[in-house]
Structure 1
Amino acid sequence: MTPADLSRTVLHAVRRAVDEDALRAPVPARVRVERTRPGGSGDYACAVALQLAGPAALPALEVARILRERVAAEPGIGRVEITGPGFLSFTLDTPADRRGALLDAVREQGLAYGHGDALRGEVIRLHHASEVRAAVTVDAVRRLLTAQGADVRISRDGGGDRAWSRLGVTADARETTPDALAATVRPVPAGATAAELLERLGADATRWGLLRPAGHDRAPLGDDLLVQGEANALFRVRYAHARTRALTRGAAALGFASAPGAGPGEPAARPLLDLLADHPAVLLAAARHRAPDRLARQLEAVAHAFFVLHDTCPPLPAGDEKPSAAHRARLALAEAAGTVLAGGLSLLGIRAPEHL
């Protein structure tokens, strides 16, 4: 069950409670669920009971009890707890077939895993200054919005910079002059021209350096973006992707392939599975909030979780060990992680090489 699935499940429980007259309150348009914070209970938490307590004229704890009864039995939910003043905390049930279904979805959708049509039919106008960080940010936002079905129109102040094209920024044939409906994207300027950054860092490191920080933060654009080591987040993300591809080649040399229908059950696999399940929601949130930095942080988390799996539960057998069902399942998860990393980097306009 993905966060979007859980949100719909809780919303359905609210509708049922209202239809059954157990709860007299307006049904919200959507229900927000979030990852439980460190030290919290369960996998996800939701504050909908607190939101509905006032309109329902009931204590939040009572609203939470009403909703818990209607959510607890839903498929994919292992446990529902009430915490604090009325938060609902969910522990998801992830049996092997559900894990396998997630990996199958990533394999079938490929680099488009997480793309959707939530914004289909929306025409979104963006405006930016004639400055390299603004141009690259708007380009990444356009990619994210388009991946969710939106029709994006871009305008800018003055003329562009020819060097932008070397950063993957292309002029929109439908560019318009700014109007009252255009949202201005205004990150902290880079403090350098595109040509200067390209000469020193190259296209991929420049884009990562401009997009990884939140727009209101200064973009650190030092030579450490080129360092091939753990301290460089871009290197770790791209190395994780390259390593997943190397695992596939290694498995083929040993005469076996992944088994996406069987999800790995080791505890080390759970964080990576959760991140892959969250990926569609992260992409949609990054698009809605015009925040490519959210996607960059997601890719860093996926890379970290992949390396934990790789080091704890190796996808390839060692020595004279024969390939087992566990190896095939781990390989399927590693390949799914590689697909998500490549797809995410593509949305940021950054290459995902198979060899580093």
Structure 2
Amino acid sequence: MTPEELSAAIAACLQAAVDAGDFAVEMPDEVRVERPKNREHGDWATNIAMQLGKKAGMNPRQFAEILSARLEKIDGVARVEIAGPGFLNITVDAAAAGLLAKSIVEAGTGYGTSDDLAGQRINLEFVSANPTGPIHLGGTRWAALGDSLARILVAQGADVAREYYFNDHGSQIDRFARSLLAKAKGEPAPEDGYGGDYIADIANAVLAQNPDALSAADPQEEFRSRGVELMFTAIKKSLHEFGVDFDVYFHENSLFEDGAVEKLLEELKGSGSLYFNDGAWWLKSTDFGDDKDRVVIKSDGNAAYIAGDIAYFKNKRDRGFDLCIYMLGADHHGYVARLKAAAAAMGDSADRVEVLIGQMVNLVKDGKPMRMSKRAGTVVTMEDLVDAVGVDAARYALTRSHADSNIDIDLDLLVKHSNDNPVYYVQYAHARTCAVARNAAASGVERSAFDASLLDHATENELLAVLGAYPSVVAMAAKFREPHRVARHLEVIAGAYHRWYDACRVTPIGDGEVTDTHRTRLWLNTAVTQVLANGLDLLGVSAPERM
């Protein structure tokens, strides 16, 4: 019996009680069941009686007593106990619990997926690093988290478009072009320019494409157009090698070239959402929750950065997206209110916008902060991290912590083949399940029989419980935009599996007889293989069969 099946059974009991006149209450959207902290309190617990008791005009414990009487009659439920003010602690019988192993294997890659978000079109914008240098660690973290979140949302039925906002408009591009031109001329970088070996690499590549670039009618423009394209090509290549590809690469400059920004600003003037003061046009963003009004058209007549943001949001909505999620860096907290304000100013719902803020990443090696990157000049890059630990370890390490927390990445730890290394711990569990399957085949153990009641060892009960919780973990990761929940739960599954492996054999000892216990345990072993593979795939991490 999965948590979802138990939740549905409780909901059915609630409806039956309402129909019988036991109490009158509006049915909840969902009935949540969770693992009790103390396993002596049963396999699952729900506080539904505490949620609905008072609404039904009765004491929650009295409500729980009515509900428990119905729950005890459900096939697969061994015992229901009422605890405290009205908690329902539920114990399922071994056969009901063990059936989960077979259902997981039969579900395959579909286990843990749902259609909860079916019909919802989501635009997920992440990374969006300026094309003026390699992707730094902050962008690398967003690449790992963003791609994992996209996979998780898709697993819940959403239609997700991964989008990269290509910042090819503004002063940073001019500084980049001047830096390339100076390097090509053999001159020092401009005071506000970019350094690092990559500037020389790009400048030389421009000259290789056009040996006459320095004598062009507008050398800076020549280096700008070719240099930006070369840099962006390098960024795309780095992301692809990191396992991250985008459905849309949106060029910021297009909003200005096709007049979208100018047209939208005129619309906002007409709607009264903008006002003129001190020679500039301001958005009445305080009317929509921002801490101050924002300049949209500066006194010199040029559009401020927020003008492009507003036009970009409108473009996304015009493309039919129901929800626009922006994943931004630690210095973008002010964007939360202003983007929501921009949506509201256009007559749209502020709920169409979500902004996720990520925090800093620090690399540690030999107990000390990692040196600056020679190639980038000022920051540690995606390539630096991948070169040090590999793609799998990098992605897992960046995904297993909450996005809104600062993290230290210990490079020495991530290259260790030990249980102290989280990614190794999980991947090794998957590889071990595959080794067990190979050994089982060699011993003549097949999944030709299944008797759920034979999965009655304490470690099997624990393992089945954490496997059963996996779908709800994925659902919560999608709901709260927290991929780290999946990573952490995989570590819980790996731990439960290793304990089961130490206690229960899938193959007979020596020339011992193959029994249905061995065959049934092979089903459970295969179920673990499947869940670990499904979870690692959501994180964009490989599930090796041998290590």
Give the alignment's TM-score, normalised by structure 2: 0.61
d(CA) in 1 for partners of 2:39 and 2:472? Answer: 23
Per-residue CA distance 1:46-98 (angstroms, 9 max, x = gap): 11111112222211111111211222211221111111111111111231xx4
1:311 counterpart (475, 481, 502): 502
**What does 1:117-196 align with in structure 2 at a 5 Å threshold?**
117-130=115-128, 131-156=139-164, 158-159=166-167, 161-162=235-236, 163-173=238-248, 177-178=312-313, 180=343, 181-191=352-362, 192-196=380-384
Report the Cα offset of residue 40 of structure 1. 5.9
3-state SS, counterpart of residue 35 of structure 1:
coil
**What does 1:64-103 align with in structure 2 at a 5 Å threshold?**
64-95=64-95, 98-99=96-97, 101-103=99-101
Per-residue CA distance 1:281-322 (angstroms, 9 max, x = gap): 222222222111111111111111111111111212233333
Identical amino acids, percent of aligned pairs: 35
- Which shifted more, 99-108 or 165-174? 99-108
**Does the 8 Å contact 2:360/2:406 carry over to 1?**
yes
- Which shifted more, 74-83 or 148-157? 148-157
Q: Which has the larger radius of gyration?
A: 2
Per-residue CA distance 1:329-356 (angstroms, 9 max, x = gap): 2222112111111111111100111110
Q: Over aligned residue pairs, what C-alpha RMSD do you find?
A: 2.1
3-state SS, counterpart of residue 144 of structure 1:
helix
Q: Which residue of 2 aligns with 1:238?
A: 427
**1:202 is matched by which residue type in structure 2?**
G
Q: Does 1:294 align with 2:485?
A: yes
Q: Which residue of 2 aligns with 1:44?
A: 44
Q: Which residue of 2 aligns with 1:247?
A: 436
**1:167 is matched by which residue type in structure 2?**
F
Per-residue CA distance 1:214-249 (angstroms, 9 max, x = gap): 222223322211210111121111111111111111
**2:360 is matched by which residue type in structure 1?**
P
- Which shifted more, 220-229 or 257-266? 257-266
**What does 1:205-220 align with in structure 2 at a 5 Å threshold?**
205-220=393-408
Q: Which residue of 2 aligns with 1:28?
A: 28
Report the Cα offset of residue 151 of structure 1. 0.9
**2:23 is matched by which residue type in structure 1?**
L
Report the Cα offset of residue 278 of structure 1. 1.9
Change (3 A) 1:28 1:175: farther
Give the alignment's TM-score, normalised by structure 1: 0.92
Change (3 A) 1:172 1:256: same
Change (3 A) 1:174 1:148: farther
**1:71 is matched by which residue type in structure 2?**
L
d(CA) in 2 for partners of 1:242 and 1:291? Answer: 26
**Does the 8 Å contact 2:445/2:518 carry over to 1?**
no
Per-residue CA distance 1:181-236 (angstroms, 9 max, x = gap): 23223222335431221111111000001001122222332221121011112111
Report the Cα offset of residue 265 of structure 1. 2.7
Q: Which residue of 2 aligns with 1:105?
A: 103
- Which shifted more, 236-245 or 13-22? 13-22
**Does the 8 Å contact 1:126/1:182 carry over to 2?**
no
**Does the 8 Å contact 1:315/1:328 carry over to 2?**
yes
- Which shifted more, 41-50 or 166-175? 166-175
d(CA) in 1 for partners of 2:435 and 2:148? Answer: 28
3-state SS, counterpart of residue 199 of structure 1:
helix
d(CA) in 2 for partners of 1:113 and 1:272? Answer: 16
**2:535 is matched by which residue type in structure 1?**
G
d(CA) in 2 for partners of 1:72 and 1:285? Answer: 28
**Does the 8 Å contact 1:128/1:155 carry over to 2?**
yes
**Does the 8 Å contact 2:71/2:80 carry over to 1?**
yes
3-state SS, counterpart of residue 88 of structure 1:
strand
d(CA) in 2 for partners of 1:34 and 1:325? Answer: 31
Q: Which residue of 2 aligns with 1:10?
A: 10
**Does the 8 Å contact 2:445/2:507 carry over to 1?**
no
**Does the 8 Å contact 1:103/1:260 carry over to 2?**
no
**1:164 is matched by which residue type in structure 2?**
L
**Does the 8 Å contact 1:132/1:189 carry over to 2?**
no
**Does the 8 Å contact 1:148/1:287 carry over to 2?**
yes
- Number of matched residues? 354
d(CA) in 2 for partners of 1:349 and 1:38? Answer: 33
Q: Which residue of 2 aligns with 1:258?
A: 447
